[in-house]
Structure 1
């Protein structure tokens, strides 16, 4: 594979969101590999027929200073890759704030490397995930109901980045250190003939907007949005921002013009259901809470992690780990979890521990994730378990990096946005393990059971 045959590269601001973007590309026929760092050309050459690649990051859980330290080297290296579209992948609920996971800051940093780009496309809606944008207002489905973002039962009460503004333009404007103008390509302007819509789009660019938000409702207008972004990228590389809706929009258009390669995007390995599985959860979402409860009712062994143990960096919680390892060796499936839903008292207790330790709340995701990652590595090495789920968008990246994994590829699309993946590692014990990374809001109530019994 030569670099100039790549169609898209993306950086995901958390790991669960990164696997979501990879899945959107893979299931639509475009082989994609997700790395933990920007890959070298030699690394890319190892994957025959690769069309796209991603870099799984952790900027969503970081403050502005740490974001800049992470993103500058990534943007610099990505800007040197010959690829038409470079995507800063955000969560489909756009959860962020001026202090944590600041998307505005990410855009400002990126423009140091894409200074010739006149306007930055922003597309956040993703109908396959139940995410919609209408006249700039963002909506997200939970179970069978679609909520405006600021009224969403979970996202409006997110413990780190509560979403109290549904207008994405207003929400993003608050995150800009230097004011930028944000235009809207609304749902009505995306209707009509190709030339008519293109003329409207070009007119928006001439109006001097720095950023242009796309409304998202259905497949037809997703295809139209994909066409507008792709055609612009043929004139000059395009830095774009948003959810995996960008991948769904682009793949829709690519297929319509015959760009889909014949080899397909999914691995062809035979997958068997698993006798046992390890779930490691740092999520406090009510969706994850229900998934944990259903799995325990179905026979999984639940082990709740005491707050004082997750905060103890001096030594491993050997008794807790031995308990998990013992159950796995007996053929049981195990769930290690830090909290059971947003009302769990462990959340407040953990915050109090952070305060006593003098740690900022912005460091909580990394602290907890790295602790869980070290424990997961030890459990895998001593139990031999080969199928793992990590739940929690803010913690999953740190867990995965502690497991000495350098890449992931989709094995099976079990649930939208949370596929089962094959892990690549230089360590024999980690290489080839089956790993699913699940954001707090994603997956059906029986998601853990679906992953355990997933087969092809």
Structure 2
């Protein structure tokens, strides 16, 4: 294994695994396996990039650091030369969040400073300019992320935000330097390290900027960012002859299907509305769930009654209703209850024969993936930018784990179709 990734949630892990498997057009990617948690056994010798999916995005700092260091240790034991700490392209965190502490702990363990920090993913409208994170044409703090139920983003200055979480100063490599080429970026990172900066925010508004950062990172032990930061990394290993690369074949999985949506993002709520126009949907009664009166059996009956017509079960709601529920029951309690409900539902669905499962929302996807206990997933073709097909259970189960903000309006129906048909021509 050459490259090891530590991802702070399951959808993000699939996102960066997809990026590494694709690589640059005409150059190809790496042989990638996504692991659900820290594996207990050695990786297969064919794996060139291993992505460890953790569920630490909203975890207390101490827990997130401990799990991330355990992942790092396993990856080092597999022979990895380079490591990536992957977080969300909307930098989901709070001033007391764990992105900074985890990054600094990994940097300390590897003995490095001047580490790239770049959440940009231009393909889906996430860009960084002068250290400020944008969603499409809006500052992050003016986007729907301001109302995120767990990690409301109220400041777009990622350098300032990260500085609240870290001990060392945070540097900046601006667009002018990035556009001057990989040599200029390396010099700027070295200068930041000499000034004591462990983390250095790097601007990127185009995929070409990310490719430049990838070239600059050749030989660097640690990189951090969203999945976009991985765009240029496979080429470094392929160019050196250390990696051979390969394409994962996927012929599709037939059988019963279901969709679970726990994200409250505007994107997911619109996708639910689009899906509802031609497919059965079931809104979960959150008050009943909090009172312990929501029976998983009723959800299974709904899914069974609508097999073949893409049934969707969701807890997603608008920000005002989410705020009401959080004030009544507590933010953490609502999240824990819904994660447990979706986990039990997913496990029961698969036990009842469901072999194609689409999940929306990072926390929801993490709960579902852990409940299914699949250990490792192969990376199939991309459904929409940032969302690959994942194959587990020795080819018996096909999954699409979608970040809340990702996917086209018709994502749900399209994903189920691709899970069934395999590689789309």
SS in structure 2 of the partner of residue 59 of structure 1: coil
What residue is the counterpart of 1:155 in the other structure?
145
- DSSP 3-state at the match of 1:60: coil
Aligned to 1:358: none
List aligned pairs for 1:253-268, cutoff 5 A.
253-254=236-237, 257=239, 259=241, 261-264=243-246, 266-268=247-249
Map of 2:124 onto structure 1:
129
Instruction: Give the drift of 1:276.
Output: 5.3
> Which residue, 287, 299, 306 being the options, matches 1:308?
287
Corresponding residue number in structure 2 for 1:335: 312
- Are positions 1:453 and 2:417 aligned together? yes
* TM superposition shift of 1:139: 1.1
Report the CA distance shift for 1:195/1:325 in structure 2 as closer, same or farther (over 3 A).
closer
* 2:223 aligns with one of 240, 244, 250: 240
CA distance in 1, matches of 2:156, 2:60: 22
Q: TM-score, normalised by structure 1?
A: 0.84
Where does residue 354 of structure 1 map in the other structure?
Answer: 329
1 CA distance for matches of 2:316 and 2:187?
A: 51
* TM-superposed deviation, 1:112: 4.7
Q: In structure 2, what is the equivalent of residue 36 of structure 1? A: 36
Q: Distance in 2 between the 1:250 and 1:411 partners?
A: 19
Q: CA deviation at 1:79?
A: 4.3
- Name the structure 1 match of 2:8: 13
The alpha-carbon deviation at position 414 of structure 1 amounts to: 0.7
* Counterpart Cα distance in 1 of 2:248 and 2:294: 39
- Residues 63, 206 of structure 1: alpha-carbon distance in 2 compared, 3 angstrom cutoff: closer
Aligned partner of 2:296 in structure 1 is 317
Is the 8 Å Cα contact of residues 15 and 386 (structure 2) preserved in structure 1? Answer: yes
Q: Distance in 1 between matches of 2:59 and 2:101?
A: 11
2:257 aligns with 277
SS where residue 319 of structure 2 aligns?
Answer: coil
Poorly superposed stretches of 4+, deviation over 4 Å: 193-197, 252-255, 258-263, 312-316
Residue pair 1:309, 1:317 contacting (<8 A) in 2 also: no
Shift of 1:286: 1.4
* Cα deviation, residue 32, structure 1: 0.7
| Distance change in 2, residues 1:49/1:82 (3 Å) | closer
- 1:71 and 1:309 map into 2 onto residues whose CA distance is 36
SS of residue matched to 2:57: helix
* Aligned residue number for residue 211 of structure 2: 223
Q: Kindly state the Cα deviation for residue 132 of structure 1 after the two structures are TM-superposed.
A: 1.0
Provide the secondary structure at the position in 2 that maps to 1:241: strand
- Could you say if the C-alpha distance between residues 220 and 379 of structure 1 is closer, same or farther in structure 2, counting changes exceeding 3 Å? closer
Residue 296 of structure 1 corresponds to: 276
> Cα distance, 1:302 vs. partner?
0.3
Q: CA deviation at 1:173?
A: 1.0
- What is the match of residue 361 of structure 2? 392
**Cα distance change on mapping 1:279 and 1:220 into 2, 3 Å:** same
1:444 to 408, 412, 416: 408
1:63 aligns with 2:46: no
Cα RMSD for the two superposed structures: 2.5
Using the size of structure 2 for normalisation, the TM-score is: 0.89
Distance in 1 of aligned mates of 2:323 and 2:363: 17
Within-5 A mapping of 1:107-122: 107-114=103-110, 116-122=111-117
Q: Could you say what secondary structure the match of 2:231 adopts?
A: helix
- Report the alpha carbon displacement of residue 159 of structure 1 after superposing the two structures with TM: 1.7
Unaligned runs of 5+ in 1: 1-5, 356-360, 426-430
Give the aligned length. 415
